Amino acid sequence: MKNNKENKKIIIDYREKNSLVISELMSLGCKIEIKNLPVADFLINDVAIERKTVSDLISSMINKRLLKQLEELQQYKKRLLIIEGFDERELYSDSNDKNRGMNANAVRGLLLSILLKYEIPILFTKNYEDTAKFILVLSKKKEKETSLRVNKKTLNKKERLQFILESFPGIGPKTAKKLLSHFKTLKNIFNASEEELKEMVGKKAEIFKLVEEQF
C-alpha cells in the first residue's frame, strides 16, 4: 500500500466524480473528499483549480461559461487553470478548421486574457494521468488549507444584461455596454429599428434582426 501520510486531502467537486483523474489519484494513494464546490473543480491546500479538457475549454469559450468561471475563481488568492489533453487533441490550429468552432487567434487572445487580465496561471497537461500527478505533487506541498466559504458570483442587473448581450455572436463587452447605455433595456434593443441599431453598432445590428425573425 502506498504511503499517503505526507499528502494533504484533495477536495473534489462532485461534478468531477466520473473523471478518470479521480481514479488515478486514488491509485496514487491520495486522500480525496467529494463535495459540492460552488467554485473550482479541485481544492488542494490553499489552491483552487479549474480543470478543462481541450474539448471542454473550446465549448466553454463558445458559450461564454469560461469567463464566468474565471471571474468566480478570483475569490481565491491562489488559483490555477489546468488544460488537459494537449497530447490527444490540438488546442487550436491555423488551418481554418471550422469544425473547431474557434479560430486560432481567438484562442490565443483568450489565453493571454487569462494570464494577464485574470492573472490565472495555466498548466497544460498531456492527459488525465499527467493531471493527477501534478495534483499529487501539489498535495505534498506544505501550505495552509483553504477556506470553503466562497460562493457563485451574483451579477447585478446591469451585469446580467451585459452577460446576455455578450452571448450573441460578435457582441463583445464594449458593444454590449454601448447598447445598454443608449437603449437601457434588452426590450428596447430588440424593438429598435435596424437603422437605429446600425447607427450604434454598424453591421452587427443584423444579428438582432435575425433573432427577432425567429420569434
Amino acid at 34: I
152 inside domain? no
**Nearest one of 81, 142, 78, 139 to 110, comparing CA atoms:** 81
169 and 75 in one domain? no
**Average pLDDT score, the chain:** 82
170 inside domain? yes
Q: Give the CATH number, domain containing residue 22.
A: 3.40.50.10130
99 and 163 in one domain? no
38 inside domain? yes
Confidence bin at 144 (pLDDT 50/70/90):
low
Rounded CA-CA distance 148/186 in Å is 36
Query: In terms of pLDDT, which residue wins out, 152 or 34?
Result: 34
**Nearest one of 98, 124, 114, 127 to 60, comparing CA atoms:** 114
178 and 126 in one domain? no
Q: Give the CATH number, domain containing residue 184.
A: 1.10.150.20
Note the maximum CA span of the chain. 72
Report the number of distinct structural domains present in the chain.
2
Strand order in the sheet with 42-44: 32-35, 10-13, 42-44, 47-53, 78-84, 122-125
104 and 171 in one domain? no
130 and 24 in one domain? yes
User: Which three cell numbers, joined as nine digits, stand for 175?
Assistant: 458593444
Whole-model pTM: value is 0.63
Q: For the chain, how far is it from start to end, CA to CA, in angstroms?
A: 62
Mean pLDDT of the 1-8 span: 54
Among 139, 168, 202, the domain boundary falls at 139
| pLDDT, tens digit (0-9, with 9 covering 90-100), for 90-142 | 887 776 554 455 678 888 888 998 998 889 999 999 999 999 999 999 988 76
